Amino acid sequence: MKIALGIISGVLISVLLASKLAVAAGQVEQLSTQVAALKSNGLGTPTKQEVSVYIPPKQKGRELSVVYWLLDFNQDKYVMNSLQPMLDEYFKAHPEAYYMIVAVPSLNKLGGSFYLNSELTGLWQDYTVFDLPFWIEQHYNLTITERRRGVAGFGMGGLGALNISLQYANVFGVAFSAGPTMLQSTDFKTQLTAWPQPYRMAYGASVAPISGEEYGQYPNFDGSEADLALQQLWMQGIANWPQKIDLFYRLGSPLSLWLENAESDPSHQGSAIDQFHQQLTLANFEHQFHRYPGTTKALWPNRFEQALLPYFTQTWR
């Protein structure tokens, strides 16, 4: 009888523990919407766009903040599923953290849009800055200010997070950028040549599309006025950082920024990030800058847990 009671008690305890663990877990939801900003794209990218949303365990009396995570080149929304166990553990261990994470793909047949507006690839920046937050926050009945709305990314997503936050700090007041895909305008020819071809093809289609084609025009650096103008088109998304910093100051909205650089990323990218950090410092732009061993592509899941999550948690305490 005692043995039977012990077994029953053990089963009840196990059930209760399992119930508590289930309550403590977050959830991942898949959402889709029609995006008017992509209707005119020339690559056949679907106007129906999907995102993956991680929602932490509910806390009474607290309103969620939101991190919009801009995904990397060729990365899709299902990457969130692989992160869910880690996210559950993190939010369980850090009850002070209370924010949802929205994984935002920007896929097209070339690999990615770089979160830029383009007559060929579509108005991805408009979608990301205006349509997406309105849709998500209306869906979850959230009323938040820009100080509780963050944008983050690795690689191509890190570049998008920088471009968007510097131009729209009145929308996204907190930004995290890891290994952003950027180049130096001071050594543009050498660095553009070193950039992997898939990135060049996708980026060129975004910033310098050729009418009637599904690709863009490349600078040939012949010194002509037409080619110099073409170079300026190419620099608008991946360079020209002093001008973007000036624009940020003219807009006048505060921005909390984390910038980091992986030591084993391509040298042209690392030097551009270092230069950008120096430009921010010279402009008295308060930011956090970190460098770590390895590569962004290999270590981004670790950096998500060890840097991105703690940064937003600390910022929104």
How are strands ordered across the β-sheet holding 149-154? 27-34, 48-55, 99-104, 65-70, 149-154, 174-178, 256-262, 288-292
How far CA 162 is from CA of 11, 13, 115, 191, 238, in Å, comes to: 52, 49, 10, 19, 10
Tell me what the mean pLDDT of segment 116-137 comes to: 98
**pLDDT given at position 22:** 47
Taking the model in full, what pTM does it have? 0.92
Asked if residue 8 has pLDDT above 90, the reply is no
Tell me what the mean pLDDT of segment 309-316 comes to: 99
Q: Which residue has the higher pLDDT, 202 or 317?
A: 202
**pLDDT given at position 114:** 98
C-beta atoms surrounding 145 within 10 Å:
10
Tell me what the mean pLDDT of segment 277-284 comes to: 97
Tell me what the mean pLDDT of segment 141-147 comes to: 96
Tell me what the mean pLDDT of segment 128-151 comes to: 98
Cα separation, 169 vs 93, in Å, equals: 30
Tell me what the mean pLDDT of segment 250-255 comes to: 96
Q: What does the mean pLDDT of the chain come to?
A: 92
**pLDDT given at position 5:** 44
Which domains does the chain show, CATH number per domain? 2-315 (3.40.50.1820)
**pLDDT given at position 16:** 42
**pLDDT given at position 13:** 43
Q: Is 141 left (phi over 0), alpha (psi -120 to 50) or beta?
A: left
Tens of pLDDT, residues 196-206: 999 999 999 99
Asked if residue 10 has pLDDT above 70, the reply is no
Q: Write the DSSP assignment of 85-103 as a string of letters.
A: HHHHHHHHH-TT--EEEEE
Tell me what the mean pLDDT of segment 295-308 comes to: 96
Cα separation, 217 vs 23, in Å, equals: 54
CB of 179 closer than 8 Å to CB of 262: yes
